[in-house]
């Protein structure tokens, strides 16, 4: 029997709400701010005699996600009833897909620390969400809001190809990015639109026949932030290691099986909820009120043809095509609309190179988005407007500091960069005869820094340039000022 160092082995189940206007099997609206129990009907409440009807848009979005994950869409998928009792599940069963899901196989390439690792995808399947239980602080009762009941839910189940807490977080972030890129889901975790359930075990060598041995599998339920995913997985890995060290022979999957655990975010630790159910505990059987899903091949091909360029491919292309560093490419491709804006900006610019454009995006455009908490489509200026102001900086019409000020004024006024520069007389001065007089005065008024520079202290030149900029109200061309200063002080 091998006694190799235990290896964390993690698979992830991720649930995300699909971007549909109505629920999975009825016409109730999907609204997250509606009064409790106001978006319900006999179908999603499980009243006797009602019949579900499939939401075509939800099926389309599920196929879209499965294809983007490099999966296969089978010719036949069916609905099943998954039975369990909980107060937020009115029917006492959930309509889901069990042994014949809508998407099978695939993989997701995940960037992390400048490298990429691949996580296999087991399946992608559709189901309906349950309601939401709330527990008042006084503990006198619990209340249930069934508005969420029946919301289309996509579950993505990965292979156990994740081997650290950092990889678990990166996988979750990359999967969310993909779903948002595809417009499959909004994935707002504060609204419960995306939830993570990692399954953690340690591979503890092999048995006498060379087969891998594992510690018990623990599934952590309903994590709703990347921070929680990373910390909960790290805690479980450490707990498994300790349990195994305390009892190497007894702490095994064969002996203890699987368990379900919760996460206490304030205490940063997991706790045992129950032993893990197996498939037979749910008493699966085919849903008698719904026909199977038999996707038309032409429809699937149309969905495939409509997929956008995916984030990881786009990130690599930005590095190759635009010569961007990995960090810049990752930031600019994290959001599809930002990436589109950047590419249009580069195409519109006459003098701004791709790297300079990336700097403007990250330092000016995205700063505004973060400060105002808005999407890029909500700001008043477009890619061509940013290209105009950055081109003016590159050609020396205005300096970089003034460029940022002009950009801010463009956002507020809606005016073009040229209009603002002309109206406020912001064009920088590059006339040497005019700037020589300014430089002479600066040298005369700052003899100490002047002598320091003559003596070899290069940093002193910056102080003199700064004085010249102040003397001209920021309108002097710093490059020209520098050239004049060097000639006068070293000539």
| Average pLDDT score over residue span 139-157 | 93
Does pLDDT of 289 surpass 90? yes
Which domain does 399 fall in, by range?
309-423
381, 401, 423: which is the final residue of a domain?
423
Answer yes or no: do 282 and 386 share one domain: no
Neighbours of 460 (CB within 10 A): 18
Rounded Cα distance, 403 and 407, in Å: 6
List pLDDT tens digits, range 337-359: 999 999 999 999 999 999 999 99
| Average pLDDT score over residue span 433-441 | 84
Lowest-confidence segment of 3-17, 99-113, 215-229 by average pLDDT: 3-17
Q: Which residue has the tokens 């064009």?
A: 427
382, 400, 423: which is the final residue of a domain?
423
Answer yes or no: do 320 and 247 share one domain: no
Q: Is residue 296 part of a domain?
A: yes
Answer yes or no: do 337 and 202 share one domain: no
- Average pLDDT over the chain reads 92
Q: Could you give the count of Cα atoms lying within 13 Å of 235 in the half-sphere of its Cβ?
A: 20
Answer yes or no: do 91 and 201 share one domain: yes
Q: Is residue 96 part of a domain?
A: yes
The per-residue pLDDT for 232 is: 97
List pLDDT tens digits, range 159-200: 999 999 999 999 999 999 999 999 999 999 999 999 999 999
| pTM: predicted TM-score of the whole model, two decimal places | 0.85
302, 321, 336: which is the final residue of a domain?
302
Rounded Cα distance, 214 and 6, in Å: 9
**Quick one: which H or E segment has residue 428?**
none
Residue 420's contacts (CB-CB under 8 Å, 6 or more residues apart) are 406, 409, 410, 413, 426
Percent of the chain with pLDDT over 70: 98
CATH of the domain at 439: 1.10.10.410
Q: What is the number of domains present in the chain?
A: 3
Rounded Cα distance, 351 and 180, in Å: 33
Answer yes or no: do 30 and 123 share one domain: yes
pLDDT confidence bin for 491, thresholds 50/70/90: low
Q: Is residue 2 part of a domain?
A: no
The per-residue pLDDT for 279 is: 61
Neighbours of 166 (CB within 10 A): 14
């Amino acid at each position: 029997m091998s006694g190799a160092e235990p290896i964390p082995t993690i698979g992830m189940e991720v649930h995300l709400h699909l971007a549909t206007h109505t629920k999975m099997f009825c016409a109730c609206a999907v609204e997250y701010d509606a009064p409790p129990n106001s978006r319900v009907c006999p179908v999603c409440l499980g009243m006797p005699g009602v019949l579900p009807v499939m939401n075509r848009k939800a099926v389309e979005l599920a196929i879209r996600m499965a294809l983007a994950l490099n999966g296969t869409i089978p010719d036949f998928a069916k609905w099943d009833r998954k039975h369990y009792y909980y107060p937020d599940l009115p029917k006492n069963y959930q309509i889901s897909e069990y042994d014949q899901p809508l998407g099978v196989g695939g993989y997701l390439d995940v960037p992390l620390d400048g490298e990429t690792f691949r996580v296999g995808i087991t399946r992608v399947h559709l189901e309906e969400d349950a309601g939401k239980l709330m527990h008042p602080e006084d503990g006198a009762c619990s209340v249930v809001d069934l508005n969420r009941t029946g919301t289309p839910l996509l579950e993505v189940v990965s292979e156990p190809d994740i081997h650290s807490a950092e990889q678990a977080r990166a996988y979750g972030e990359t999967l969310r990015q993909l779903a948002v890129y595809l417009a499959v889901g909004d994935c707002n975790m504060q609204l419960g639109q995306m939830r993570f359930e990692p399954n953690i075990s340690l591979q503890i060598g092999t048995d006498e026949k060379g087969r891998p041995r594992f510690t018990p599998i623990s599934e952590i339920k309903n994590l709703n932030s990347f921070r929680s995913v990373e910390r909960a997985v790290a805690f479980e890995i450490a707990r498994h290691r300790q349990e195994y060290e305390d009892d190497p022979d007894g702490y095994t999957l064969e002996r203890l099986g699987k368990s379900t655990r919760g996460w206490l975010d304030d205490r940063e630790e997991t706790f045992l909820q129950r032993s893990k159910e197996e498939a037979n505990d749910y008493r699966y059987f085919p849903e008698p009120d719904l026909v199977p899903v038999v996707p038309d091949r032409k429809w699937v091909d149309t969905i495939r043809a409509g997929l956008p360029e995916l984030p990881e491919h786009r990130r690599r292309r930005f590095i190759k095509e635009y010569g961007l560093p990995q960090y810049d490419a990752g930031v600019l491709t994290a959001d599809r609309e930002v990436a589109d804006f950047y590419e249009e900006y580069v195409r519109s610019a006459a003098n701004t190179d791709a790297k300079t454009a990336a700097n403007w995006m990250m330092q000016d455009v995205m700063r505004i988005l973060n400060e105002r908490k808005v999407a890029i489509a909500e700001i008043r200026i477009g890619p061509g407007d940013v290209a105009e102001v950055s081109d003016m900086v590159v050609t020396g019409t205005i300096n970089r500091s003034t460029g940022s000020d002009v950009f801010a004024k463009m956002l507020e006024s809606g005016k073009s960069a040229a209009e603002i520069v002309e109206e406020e007389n912001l064009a920088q001065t590059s006339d040497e005869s005019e700037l020589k007089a300014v430089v002479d005065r600066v040298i005369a008024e700052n003899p100490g820094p002047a002598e320091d520079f003559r003596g070899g202290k290069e940093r002193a030149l910056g102080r003199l340039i700064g004085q010249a900029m102040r003397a001209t109200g920021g309108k002097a061309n710093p490059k020209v000022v520098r050239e004049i200063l060097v000639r006068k002080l070293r000539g």
